[in-house]
Amino acid sequence: MTPSKKTRIVIAGVGFGGVYTYKQLHKHFHKNKNVELVLINETNYFLFTPLLHEVATGSISPENIIEPLRKVLRCCLSDIYIGSVKNVDTKKNIIETTQGPLAYDYLVLALGSQSHFFGTPGADEHAFTLKTLEDAITLKNHFITQMERASKEHDAEKRKELLRCVIIGGGPTGVELATETANLFYGTFGKYYPKHLMDDVEILLIQKGEELVPMFPKKIRQKAKSILAKHQIKILFNTKVTGVTKHAITTTHDTYPKIATTTPIWTAGVAPRQIPSTEDFAQNKKGCIIVRPTLQTMGNDSIFVLGDMAHCVDPKTQEPLPALAQVAVQQGKFVADNIAALIEKKPLTPLTYSSKGLLISLGQWMAAGQIAGVQLSGRTIWWLWRSIYVSKLISWQKKLRVIVDWTINLFSPRDISKY
């Protein structure tokens, strides 16, 4: 037990997995004064990451996709530490943070992932990423800055370099960002800046494989490809990026071995967040911590791992569960139930994951996806995509603000103010 004589449950990382673990634990223990819930997070807010690409392209205001953690807390049995995790002492049951050490009885590691550059020279230094709110704001400001610079640039080649966006990675994030970037440039910027600049705008999407969004069914992959073509987005398949500099990227493509650009955006992959103590846990090749069907680590019943940090095998398919928000949400609720079972000395249950379907936004008025085995695309699925995302926002205030942002965008250009 902790020095306070209460059973202390520490949740490290308050993304989707962490926040839903907390909400479910609160349901179990909000009347139990002998249980204490503690959250550790680098920021004082929960970030709704699926909408980062819309912040980066001016569709949604940044503050509308974050929720203050103090607002998430529901009772006096909870506390928050704003800081980073430095280490976990599994023998003493202590987690070291930048705010000091914290003892725990049960620990939930849900620190998420970070961009993975696969050792590509210059990518870490020069490529933009889209993992945090700061990333999205930085990218939006950069788009605007490049338009301003291009509007005063007389050299045609330099204008093209300024207005050429290269998105590296053809997964859901890359595809959604590409279509929204096209909407921003050809839609909003086209209304506010000299018309001739649109002739110099070029958006490229680089994919190392033969298909976009390979986790989707073939029909959806083909739909995504055709929609990107309609948005004037050039796709380079079977292409790897071999280097990134301040003014260009190099690739393995025969026709485009070097692409001049000041806007390389890396969405090609992620790796689990690492802390020194993760070396004490069994890991797969990607660095994910291998967990049992109960989501406990190998050999330690008091530590649970979920979300992007966890290597969790789906018992139905015997394949690792994907790094998706819906996976983390279900795992969070499941972990909370198993911790409650441990405290109440009841048997634990293995994870049963049920996919709710896959959806992808393809720009204004267009989305595609598969729900209950049915593949759909068009305006109806676009409205469904938006409705589902709004429903997942935590507070009614944020839900309303996002709806207002989206509604305004239907009738007027996007906001292009720099933050």
CA within 13 Å, CB half, 58 = 23
Q: Let me know if residue 233 belongs to a domain.
A: yes
Enter the tokens of residue 29. 């223990």
Predicted pLDDT at 300:
93
Q: Let me know if residue 377 belongs to a domain.
A: no
Q: Let me know if residue 253 belongs to a domain.
A: yes
Residue 350 three-state SS: coil
Q: What is the mean pLDDT of residues 13-40?
A: 94
Note whether 275 and 258 are same-domain residues: no
Note whether 331 and 280 are same-domain residues: yes
Its pTM stands at 0.94
Note whether 197 and 134 are same-domain residues: yes
- Given a cut of 50, is residue 2 above it in pLDDT? no
- At 4, the amino acid letter reads S
User: How big is the CA angle at 212 (ends 329 and 208), to the nearest 5 degrees?
Assistant: 105
Quick one: which H or E segment has residue 249? Answer: strand 248-251
Q: If we measure between CA atoms, which residue out of 312, 380, 381 comes closest to residue 351?
A: 312
**Contact (Cβ atoms closer than 8 angstroms) between residue 245 and residue 258:** no
Note whether 156 and 258 are same-domain residues: yes
What pairs with residue 68 in β-bridges?
Answer: 45
**Contact (Cβ atoms closer than 8 angstroms) between residue 189 and residue 199:** no
Note whether 133 and 262 are same-domain residues: yes
| CB proximity list for 17: less than 8 A, separation 6 or greater | 108, 110, 112, 306, 307, 328, 329, 331, 332, 335
- Given a cut of 50, is residue 1 above it in pLDDT? no
User: How big is the CA angle at 139 (ends 365 and 409), to the nearest 5 degrees?
Assistant: 30
In whole angstroms, give the CA distance from residue 147 to residue 144.
Answer: 5
Q: Show the domain range for 310.
A: 7-42+83-115+271-343
Q: Let me know if residue 257 belongs to a domain.
A: yes
Q: If we measure between CA atoms, which residue out of 59, 112, 120 comes closest to residue 84?
A: 112
Note whether 131 and 242 are same-domain residues: yes
Note whether 145 and 240 are same-domain residues: yes
Note whether 166 and 35 are same-domain residues: no
Q: What is the mean pLDDT of residues 317-325?
A: 91
* Average pLDDT of the chain to the nearest whole number: 94
| Last residue within a domain, chosen from 343, 370, 395 | 343
The predicted-structure confidence for 372-405, as pLDDT tens digits, reads as follows: 889 999 999 999 999 999 999 999 999 999 999 9
Q: Let me know if residue 234 belongs to a domain.
A: yes
| Last residue within a domain, chosen from 297, 325, 343 | 343
Note whether 255 and 223 are same-domain residues: yes
Domains held by the chain: number: 2
CATH code for position 29:
3.50.50.60
**Contact (Cβ atoms closer than 8 angstroms) between residue 261 and residue 161:** yes
DSSP 129-180: --SSHHHHHHHHHHHHHHHHHHHT---HHHHHHHTEEEEE--SHHHHHHHHH
Predicted pLDDT at 207:
98
Q: Let me know if residue 382 belongs to a domain.
A: no
Q: Let me know if residue 312 belongs to a domain.
A: yes
| Last residue within a domain, chosen from 238, 268, 298 | 268
Q: If we measure between CA atoms, which residue out of 387, 416, 417 comes closest to residue 187?
A: 416
CATH code for position 190:
3.50.50.100
Note whether 263 and 186 are same-domain residues: yes
The predicted-structure confidence for 43-102, as pLDDT tens digits, reads as follows: 999 999 999 999 999 999 999 999 999 988 867 668 999 999 999 999 999 999 999 999
Q: Let me know if residue 380 belongs to a domain.
A: no
Residue 200 three-state SS: coil
In whole angstroms, give the CA distance from residue 234 to residue 242.
Answer: 19
The predicted-structure confidence for 264-308, as pLDDT tens digits, reads as follows: 999 998 999 988 776 678 999 999 999 999 999 998 999 999 999
Q: If we measure between CA atoms, which residue out of 122, 86, 123, 121 comes closest to residue 101?
A: 86
Percent of the chain scoring above 70 in pLDDT: 98
Note whether 223 and 133 are same-domain residues: yes
Note whether 159 and 293 are same-domain residues: no
